[in-house]
Amino acid sequence: MIEIISVVGARPQFIKAAMVSRALKEAGIGERLIHTGQHYDDNMSSIFFDELDIPAPDINLEVGSGSHARQTGEIMVRLEEHLLQNDRPDCVLVYGDTNTTAAAAVTARKLLIPVAHVEAGLRSFNMHMPEEINRIVTDRLSDFLFCPTQTACDHLKAEGLTDGISLTGDVMYDAVVHFSSTREPAGGRFPEGTYALATVHRAENTDDPDRLAGIIRGLGNVGIPVIFPVHPRTAVRLQGFGLPDNISVMEPLSYVQMLHAIKGAHRVFTDSGGIQKEAIWLETPCITLRDETEWVETLDRSWNVLVGADPAQIKSAMDVEPVAPPPVLCHIGEDSASSRIASILASA
C-alpha cells in the first residue's frame, strides 16, 4: 500500500485536507497527517478538525507564530526530525501557498521524498507577497503538480515545468459542494441579503496602516451592515482603530458558518483567495480588496471586482451588477478533484 504524509498548518489547508483525506482513504492510500501548528487558536484550527470530521493529526509540530524565517525554519527542523525518525513515506502532500507548504516541500525534497502539491500553478505575479514566493518554491520542487485551473497549468508551462502537471479541478469546490448542502451552521444564519461580509488577513493589507485604514473607511461607506469575522493578525492591527457603526466585528467563523454567511450576503469583500471562489460558487458577487488576483476566472462578467484598498472604489463596487450566470471556474467532468488527485497518486 502507498503511504503518504500530508502536511497542513493553516486554516484553508484543513478544509482542503478534509476532502483529499477522504478520497485517499477510498483509493486505498495510507495517510499520516502532520499539523505544523502554524495556526493554533481553537477557532483557527481545532474547530475545523471537529466540524469537517478530519482525523486528529498524528503529530502536531507546534511551531506557532514567528517571523517568516523563524516559522519556516522551525517547521523544517521539526519535520525533518520526524521524517528521519519514522517510516519513510512514498510521498509528502502539501497544499496551497503558506509557510507550511514551502517548508514541507523543501524538507521532503532534500530527503529525496517525492512531493505532491495541491493547488499548483497559482500566480499573482506579485513578489511582495510571501504566498507568491511559497508557491514558486513549492512548484519548482514538486513531482506532482495538481492544478485547479487551466490558467494554473499554463503558468507552470510558461516557467518551463513540463513533468507531473495534472489539471485536477479544485478541491475547494469539492468542499463547498459537500458541506454547503449537508450541514446547517451552528448558531443559525445571518438575515439573507441584508448585509455584506468582509474578511481581511493578507499582510499587504493588515501590515500597511494606510491600506487598512482605507479598507475600513470604504467598508464604513457601503450603506449596509458589514459582518466582519476577524483573523487574529488583523485583530492585533485593528486595536486602537475607530470602527464605523455599520461594521460588526466578530471572532473567526467556522467553515460551515462561513459558507452560509457568504451565500446569504449581498456582497462579499475579501482579500482571501478561497473566499473569492466560494463567493462565485455560491453565487454572491465578490469585491476583492487586492490589486490583483490569482483566480482571474472569477473576474469574468464582473462577478469579482478588484478594488485594492481604495475607499472610493470599495464604495462604488457596490453598484457593479454582475452579468448572470456566474463564471465556471474549472469544469472538467464528473469526478471530484479530490478523487482525481487520489487516483493519480494511487497509480504512480
Q: Which amino acids are annotated catalytic?
A: 201
Are 34 and 118 in contact by the 8 Å Cβ rule? The answer is no
- Least Å from the CB of residue 99 to ligand UD1: 4
Are 101 and 12 in contact by the 8 Å Cβ rule? The answer is no
- Least Å from the CB of residue 66 to ligand UD1: 7
Residue from 11, 32, 263, 277 binding ligand UD1 (CB under 6 A):
11
Residue from 5, 7, 12, 61 binding ligand UD1 (CB under 6 A):
12
Q: Which residue has the cell 494554473?
A: 152
**Site for ligand UD1 contains 21 (CB under 6 A):** no
Residue from 30, 40, 73, 161 binding ligand UD1 (CB under 6 A):
40
**Site for ligand UD1 contains 73 (CB under 6 A):** no
Measured between alpha carbons, how far is 331 from 328 in angstroms, rounded to an integer? 7
Between 27 and 44, CB nearer to ligand UD1: 44
**CA-based R_g, the chain, Å:** 19
Q: Among residue numbers 184 through 243, which ones bind ligand UD1 (CB under 6 A)?
A: 201, 232-233
**Site for ligand UD1 contains 10 (CB under 6 A):** yes
37-45, 278-286, 290-298, 340-348 -> range binding ligand UD1 (CB under 6 A): 37-45
Question: DSSP character for 297?
Answer: G
Question: DSSP character for 289?
Answer: S
Between 10 and 79, CB nearer to ligand UD1: 10
3-state secondary structure of 263: helix
94-102, 216-224, 258-266, 280-288 -> range binding ligand UD1 (CB under 6 A): 94-102
**What are the helix (H) ranges across the chain?**
11-26, 46-51, 68-85, 99-110, 130-141, 150-158, 171-182, 203-206, 209-220, 232-238, 255-264, 273-281, 311-316, 337-346
Between 11 and 117, CB nearer to ligand UD1: 11
**Omega before 57 within 30 of 0, i.e. cis:** no
C-alpha cell at 57: 493529526
Dihedral over Cα of 191, 193, 199, 205: its sign:
negative
- Count of positions on this chain that bind ligand UD1 (CB under 6 A): 17
Q: Among residue numbers 124 through 153, which ones bind ligand UD1 (CB under 6 A)?
A: 130-131
Q: Which residues form the interface with ligand UD1 (CB under 6 A)? A: 10-12, 38-41, 44, 65, 97-99, 130-131, 201, 232-233
